[in-house]
Amino acid sequence: MLAAAQEPAIQAVVTDSAFAEASSLIREKSSVPGILLPECLLAAKLLYGIDYDQVRPVDVVAKIAPRPLLLIHGTADDLVPFENMLQLAAAARKGHDAHVQTWTLPGMAHVTGIVQDRSEYVQRIVTFFQKALN
């Protein structure tokens, strides 16, 4: 999503279990002790140039419009909570002439849709791209 928001040559986007913004997810789900986490995030910024507070697809997803976007997410995702898809979809729909589709996978965990029903998963994505790129 971050790349598509900046690169108009990307004509359509499919995401599965995407996060809305990185820093709160890291703070919530990290196994690093809370007292050390700010230093680890600072080290990532200083050593690798990664500022996790700036990794916020929710802030730029609307820029993908009018290109089609498909968001896929399982309701039992314990790594990236399902609410992230709802946030991303709401933000994406604010884009001018937005074409946003969501596919909710009831009871499925993080990126398990392809494992649970590979045939339907592949067919839905192929169909999405066929419509989007024609």
Q: Give me the pLDDT at residue 27, please.
A: 85
At 118, which amino acid appears?
R
Per residue in 11-57, pLDDT (tens digit) is 999 999 999 999 889 888 888 888 898 899 899 899 999 888 889 99
Segment 67-105, tens digit of pLDDT: 999 999 999 999 999 999 999 999 999 999 999 999 999
The pLDDT score that the predictor gives to residue 65 is 98
- Size (the chain), residues: 134
Q: What is the pLDDT of residue 15?
A: 98
| Distance from C-alpha of 128 to C-alpha of 11, rounded to nearest angstrom | 12
Q: Which regions of 22-128 does DSSP assign to beta strands (E)?
A: 68-74, 99-105
